[in-house]
Amino acid sequence: MPPEAIPVNSLSRHIEPLKDALAAAATEVVGSGYFVLGPNVRSFESAFANYCGVEHCISVANGTDALELSLRSLGISTGDRVAVVANAAMYGTSAALACGAEPVFIDVLAETATMDPAKLEAAFGLGVIKAVIVTHLYGQLAAIKSIAALCRSHGAGLIEDCAQAHGARNSGGLAGSFGDIASFSFYPTKNLGALGDGGAVVTRREDLAERVRMLRQYGWTQKYTNGLAGGRNSRLDEIQASMLLLMLPHLDQWNERRREVALRYSSGIKNPKIRVNQSSGASYVAHLYVLRSEARSALQQHLASLGIQTDIHYPIPDHRQPCHGGRYADLELPVTELDCTEVITLPCFPELTDVEVDRVIEACNSF
């Protein structure tokens, strides 16, 4: 009988130890009579702002809204140029396009798959860039100090996309505390995930926080007065807020276990056909553990035959997506494009057992 398959992620395992407490929290909300923008939302916003080390957290319906509303809070609109990476599944690009802005695609560093500061600096020299979305991809902090310095020197707003980096930190602070404003997703698979959709914007700046609060609720400057263009209905509900509030104290422990799994992979996988992930330490929360191989398809088939599930994050770079109709056909991003042909994601989540980790390592080494 073949061994049980090892999933890339298991939400059922993740939630099992907390399911009774989560059910009780939901029941309490049902009985409270507060379902939207109530006490649980306020409590979670306060707790998450404190966790990130910033003054303000504004919860919204999802991470994509968080990105777009962050851009709009900075005044990004039609024709503005916004620097983004092209290896993060169109999230930042989609937010820029939704504002009518023009994405400026920046290549990434081979070591971390995050924005290359030198390529960003070169892009600043080619025209005005009004904002930069820096994505902390796979749970790895980008070269945020260098990027922030470039944004300051060129007068560009800095937005952190922290959807995969809850709790990542360096000596200067946590993900979400470095830029003008930052976005988070609480999609269930995230390091801090709800039991449905959810997102948040965090910032130190009161002016941006106030704009996002208005934008998430129709652009109201007061009830039924739509004074701010670009608003919509984007609110985190009370049940999801109560669940996030319950799970937040576990986040650092979950992240530490993710790092342990990642470190065991990086030290245990020794195969000349495979390049392991070099990320480690507090700046990496191992949202995804990504290998690289020139023989990706064969490796994926090999692992599947041994009951190891994998995924590819992400196979098509933004500038090659068919929705653009070939507009960026002449643009070349060599590191990004190579990565999209080689990356493969291994199982990596807090409840993965040591026995399962060993199986994954052995499967990779037998390829």
Q: Is residue 7 part of a domain?
A: no
Q: Considering 249, 283, 305, which residue would you say is the last residue of a domain? A: 249
**What was the pLDDT predicted at 2?**
63
Q: Is residue 6 part of a domain?
A: no
* 218 in the same domain as 339: no
Q: Is 249 helix (H, G, I), strand (E, B) or coil?
A: helix
**What was the pLDDT predicted at 159?**
98
* 268 in the same domain as 240: no
Q: Considering 199, 216, 249, which residue would you say is the last residue of a domain? A: 249
* 38 in the same domain as 124: yes
Q: Give the domain range for residue 285.
A: 250-365
Q: Is residue 54 part of a domain?
A: yes
Count how many domains the chain has. Answer: 2
Distances (CA, A) of 151 to 74, 112, 168, 208, 274: 13, 20, 21, 17, 36
* 267 in the same domain as 179: no
Q: Give the CA-trace dihedral at 74, 48, 188, 16, to 10 degrees.
A: 180
* 282 in the same domain as 198: no
* 185 in the same domain as 133: yes
Q: Is residue 204 part of a domain?
A: yes
Is 67 in contact with 159 (CB distance < 8 Å)? yes
Q: Is the pTM value of this prediction over 0.85? A: yes
Distances (CA, A) of 266 to 97, 262, 269, 277, 357: 37, 6, 6, 6, 11
Lookup: tokens for 174: 């946590």
Q: DSSP assignment, residue 308?
A: B
* 261 in the same domain as 167: no
**What was the pLDDT predicted at 3?**
78
Q: Is residue 4 part of a domain?
A: no
* 159 in the same domain as 85: yes
* 218 in the same domain as 170: yes
Q: Tell me, what CATH number does 351's domain have?
A: 3.90.1150.10
* 132 in the same domain as 31: yes
Cβ-based neighbours of 59, under 8 Å, separated by 6 or more: 41, 44, 45, 198, 199, 200, 235, 236, 241
Divide the 367 residues of the chain into consecutive groups of 10 and give the mean pLDDT of each group. Answer: 87 97 96 94 98 98 97 98 97 97 98 97 97 98 98 98 98 97 98 97 98 96 92 95 98 98 98 96 98 98 98 97 96 98 98 98 98
* 357 in the same domain as 210: no
* 180 in the same domain as 99: yes
Q: Is residue 314 part of a domain?
A: yes
Q: Is 108 helix (H, G, I), strand (E, B) or coil?
A: strand
Q: Tell me, what CATH number does 103's domain have?
A: 3.40.640.10
Q: Is residue 3 part of a domain?
A: no
Q: Considering 190, 217, 249, which residue would you say is the last residue of a domain? A: 249
Q: DSSP assignment, residue 294?
A: T
Q: Is residue 1 part of a domain?
A: no
